Chain A
Amino acid sequence: MIDIRPAALIAALILSPLVALAAPAPEPMRFTSQSIEMPTSDRIFPDGPGAEAVNNNCLACHSAGMVLTQPKLTKAQWTETVNKMLHVYKAPVDQADVQTIVDYLTALKPTP
């Protein structure tokens, strides 16, 4: 018959967490599903010739801030950017609007 003394049993129970601490097995990572609401932008382009074409064609893929934070760029630079949007990023821009959009962007006066 094995004589288990209560004191030893209690000691073992108390000590066992310490043994675990001595050789810690990392807690497995637990993941919590995420669901967020993104803020939206109602910013539009400043009024001016062609503003409607820019508002109609550009805002589905990016907010106006992307454009209105750009430094003063040349017509060649804006043409290159608009062409990238059309031909690489496949923006569904009406061909009749392309020149209007380039002209509007070229005329932007970044402030301040």
Chain B
Amino acid sequence: MRHLHEPFNRRLVLGGLGLGSLAAAMPAWAAGSVKLPLPGGPDERALTTAFPGKGEMILQRTHPPLLETPFSVFDEGVFTPNDRFYVRWHWASIPTEVDAGTFRLKVHGHVEKELSLSLDAIAGLPRFEIAAVNQCSGNSRGLFEPRVPGAQWANGSMGNARWTGVRLKDVLAKAGVKAGAVQVRFNGLDAPVVDEAPDFKKSLDLDHANNGEVMIAYAMNGEQLPLLNGFPLRLVVPGWYSTYWIKMLSDIEVLDKPDEQYWMKTAYRIPDVPGANIKPGQTGFKTVPINRMVPRSFVTNLQDGATVAAGTPVAIRGIAFGGDCGVKTVEFSGDGGATWFPAQLGADEGPYSFRRFDGSLPALAAGTHTVRVRCTNANGVAQPMDRVWNGAGFMQNGIETVSLQAA
């Protein structure tokens, strides 16, 4: 298996000294740039089509890749095309070559029988399919105020796909989970460049792993996964943040005690308060591993600052998702949230999918208007009016605002 190592090139560094930051900001293979609404900047990002299997994406980081989906893609349909689906890797040693014939998924640990499954053996198990949103824990981090360190995503580190594969519980049953098992840990083929660094692994409680929805996907939107989205296998944890959706899944370990390694015990923790929402500087809260997603909704047909005709109704459309359950209602407001109107919901693709909404805002008088959109999920949880804040930049789901000029 070939790994991507990008050995540090001293000649390039010495040769490049003195370049201005903007000249050096865009790689030669960039195809234009875009401005993201990141308060205080830097807000310019290259657009790129240079990544294999990917169409035009917003370049957040080349190595290891962080590629954001341009927001206009979300106006085109509720399923995000594979070649526009966002990309996020933690460690720089990523296999750039995966042989479908020799790949094996290992299942081991607290089980009756260790397994080493070929892709064909996995494809021979009962097929399961589910539509589900995959959203980075830090989606929208770049929009936090005050700003916080980390990948500076706007709203495009999310996507929705129809995932096809097998239920995790069927694979675990094949191995035979022993009494006393408590969690299941997942690992993929990517690895840190420095051996002693903590390999990226995540764990789920055994009951969750066996719930019949958590699955091992070998296809998204009817095609095998792009390598950058985790070919050949990816864990799918419907309703939970993407940190658990291990890419290039190659190793499943059943644990008889809770996982205490770095990526569960220290990283990806949230304040144990509703919506993970605290005040800057606040201390004295407990933390828990990030888990279920919360509802969100976005206007996709009108950009912030757009001009619309005064005196005629304004068509509004967008996408919503309930988080860990379906969408109950989407409402929109043309006066900053004082008056709300119900939106029409589009086809129901299942509780974990994006759902289209449409509405018509009553005619606006000439001037500036603040449009807001709010999703309430099937559990009755509504998006909060104000933006969420926490130091890691996780779980943003405050109500989105679009400013319109009626003229």
- The residues of A with any CB-CB pair to B shorter than 8 Å are 26, 28-29, 31-44, 46-47, 51-52, 55-56, 59-66, 68-73, 77, 81, 88-92, 110-112
Cross-chain contact A41 with B42 (CB below 8 angstroms): no
Chain B residues with CB under 8 A of A64? 24
- From A33, A37, A52, A61, B13 is in contact (CB under 8 Å) with A52
- The residues of B with any CB-CB pair to A shorter than 8 Å are 2, 4, 6-10, 12-13, 16-22, 24-25, 27-29, 38-45, 48, 50-53, 59-66, 91-92, 94, 96-101, 119-120, 123-124, 127, 142, 147, 149, 151-152, 164, 192-194, 196-198, 218-219, 224, 227-228, 231-232, 262, 266
Cross-chain contact B63 with A63 (CB below 8 angstroms): yes
Docked CA distance A39–B192 (Å): 19
A25 CB to nearest B CB, Å: 10
- B196 closest partner in A (C-beta): A90
- From B7, B92, B231, A62 is in contact (CB under 8 Å) with B92
B139 CB to nearest A CB, Å: 15
B105 CB to nearest A CB, Å: 12
Cross-chain contact A33 with B101 (CB below 8 angstroms): yes
Chain B residues with CB under 8 A of A112? 41-44
Cross-chain contact B61 with A65 (CB below 8 angstroms): yes
Cross-chain contact A88 with B262 (CB below 8 angstroms): yes
Chain B residues with CB under 8 A of A92? 194
Chain B residues with CB under 8 A of A111? 21-22, 41-42
Cross-chain contact B12 with A36 (CB below 8 angstroms): no
Cross-chain contact B8 with A59 (CB below 8 angstroms): yes
Cross-chain contact A40 with B6 (CB below 8 angstroms): yes
Docked CA distance A90–B21 (Å): 28
Cross-chain contact A61 with B194 (CB below 8 angstroms): yes
Cross-chain contact A29 with B62 (CB below 8 angstroms): no
Counting chain B CB atoms within 10 Å of each CB, which of A36, A51, A73 scores highest?
Answer: A36
B40 CB to nearest A CB, Å: 6
Cross-chain contact B96 with A37 (CB below 8 angstroms): yes
- B17 closest partner in A (C-beta): A47
Chain A residues with CB under 8 A of B197? 88-90
B219 CB to nearest A CB, Å: 6
Chain A residues with CB under 8 A of B232? 31, 34
B48 CB to nearest A CB, Å: 7
- B100 closest partner in A (C-beta): A31
Cross-chain contact B13 with A26 (CB below 8 angstroms): no
Q: Assuming A56-B13, A61-B193, what are 10 further A-B pairs, CB within 8 angstroms?
A: A29-B164, A33-B97, A37-B52, A38-B65, A39-B51, A40-B62, A56-B10, A60-B193, A65-B25, A65-B60
Docked CA distance A8–B97 (Å): 52
If A71-B41, A77-B149, A92-B194 touch, whether A36 touches B27 (CB-CB below 8 Å) is no
- From B16, B43, B63, B266, A40 is in contact (CB under 8 Å) with B63
Docked CA distance A59–B149 (Å): 18
Cross-chain contact A26 with B127 (CB below 8 angstroms): yes
Docked CA distance A110–B147 (Å): 13
